[in-house]
Amino acid sequence: MTYKLTYFNVTALAEPIRFLLSYLNTDFEDYRFDRELWPTIKPTMPFGKVPVLEIDGKTLNQSTAITRYLAKKAGLTGSDDWEALLIDIAVDNVHDFRQALAGYFYDANEESKKLKYEPLLKETIPFYMDKFESIVAENKGYFVNGKLTWADLFFVAVLDYLNYMAGIDLLDGRPQLQALKATVVAIPQIKAWIAKRPVTP
Amino acid sequence: MTYKLTYFNVTALAEPIRFLLSYLNTDFEDYRFDRELWPTIKPTMPFGKVPVLEIDGKTLNQSTAITRYLAKKAGLTGSDDWEALLIDIAVDNVHDFRQALAGYFYDANEESKKLKYEPLLKETIPFYMDKFESIVAENKGYFVNGKLTWADLFFVAVLDYLNYMAGIDLLDGRPQLQALKATVVAIPQIKAWIAKRPVTP
């Protein structure tokens, strides 16, 4: 099977797919285009968005759906439907947090963007991050049931993007999440991927 | 098993869960609270949001994760991992459209809200709705592979909410989607649910 991933030259929403493909030891073409090409590429994408993964020429959008599919192949979707549910909930909670950060970060109006930063920093970020820290503490170092699942890989894969939007180190003062990150980046395939991936902002 | 669903007295994000529970012939407590109670209820919810479903006293948030879990019990997640992926993609495409509508509808600034309506009506709505119409045409009346899946139930369940935010009938001039809606609301358990559910805006 051939895999071609199309995205901007950043980690962000494509990185969970790259993590899972790496975890599976799957070779893939990691096509990264320059931003100035986006107006040309956009109309060729299924819903005008990226990342997109082509598997044997079949074009798929929606990064979370793709990551879940790859996670099934990797045995990282839990041992039953209940665990799969708890993993899906964890992933969507991280997405809610990502969208809260994006609501600030991508605000085109400089004035309203500035007004959003203090509540983001003092309310939204501690609200979500402290919950994530507690959940990982209660689940013995992982998001769900004391074992590695794709929720953990997903969180660590998007963490650089979350930090970038937040403008701070979100793991600062959160030892459980620091330990989770250390666990994930020590997985040999993930470690090898991080060592070889392009350095991006 | 006991099921208690907590939400505002509207269809919106809880309706896919209500559809799936009804499809499964599962009795559930459909707890709907008045908006003035929200400040009291909010801090008691896992991530300060609803809908929330309690299953045997275990509290779950994230409506899409819950709907997928119930869809597995109902045999509506496709016949293999590839179909499950296509269904997840369809659902998340509808969510992207919902969020585009919400970006207009919930804009608290009346001036910027007004400015958003024309591009929404002339670009965003036709872009998504015409794609959905084509996908259903290509898939013999359903979102995925010519058979009923939870993507179809999900779409029809949130359709009233999408129409409400759009301020128009989104199915107008889209016969494939009209037929899909007719198919879903003719399912005996869904028909019975719609007949007995509270009438809400």
Q: Which domains does chain B have, with CATH numbers?
A: 3-74+189-196 (3.40.30.10), 81-187 (1.20.1050.10)
Residue with tokens 């959160």: A174
Contact yes or no for B148/B142 (Cβ under 8 A): yes
Tens digits of residue pLDDT in B1-54: 999 999 999 999 999 999 999 999 999 999 999 999 999 999 999 999 999 999
Tens of pLDDT, residue by residue over B79-96, are: 999 999 999 999 999 999
- pLDDT for position A201: 77
Interface test with B, best of A81, A113, A131, A132 (most B CBs within 10 A): A81
Residues in chain A predicted with pLDDT less than 50, given as ranges, are none
B6: which strand partners?
Answer: B31, B52
Q: State the smallest CA–CA distance between residue B82 and chain A in angstroms.
A: 8
Look at the alpha carbons of B93, B99, B101, B103 in this order and tell me if their dihedral is positive or negative: negative
* The pLDDT of residue B67: 98
> Could you tell me which of B195, B173, B174, B172 has the C-alpha nearest to residue B185?
B195
Using H for helix, E for strand and C for coil, what is the string for chain B? CCEEEEEECCCHHHHHHHHHHHHCCCCCEEEEECHHHHHHHHHHCCCCCCCEEEECCEEECCHHHHHHHHHHHCCCCCCCHHHHHHHHHHHHHHHHHHHHHHHHHCCCCHHHHHHHHHHHHHHHHHHHHHHHHHHHHHCCCCCECCECCHHHHHHHHHHHHHHHHHCCCCCCCCHHHHHHHHHHHCCHHHHHHHHHCCCCC
Test A85 with B65 for CB contact under 8 angstroms.
yes
B55 in A contact zone (CB under 8 Å): no
> Residue B201: what pLDDT?
77
Report which of A97, A93, A111 is spatially closest to residue A166, judged by C-alpha positions. Answer: A97
pTM to 2 decimal places: 0.98
B92-118: per-residue pLDDT in tens? 999 999 999 999 999 998 999 999 999
A130 has a chain B CB within 8 A of its CB:
no
Of A65, A88, A131, the CB nearest to B85: A65
Percent of chain B with pLDDT over 90: 98
Q: B106 CB near a chain A CB, below 8 Å?
A: no
Interface test with A, best of B89, B96, B125 (most A CBs within 10 A): B89
Counting one residue from chain A and one from chain B, the pairs whose CB atoms sit within 8 A come to 66
User: What confidence score (pLDDT) does residue B25 get?
Assistant: 98
Q: What is the ipTM of this complex?
A: 0.97
Could you give the angle at the alpha carbon of B139 between the alpha carbons of B138 and B144, nearest 5°? Answer: 135
Q: Is the CB of residue B60 less than 8 Å from the CB of residue A83?
A: no
Distance from C-alpha of B99 to C-alpha of B91, rounded to nearest angstrom? 12
pLDDT number for residue A59: 97
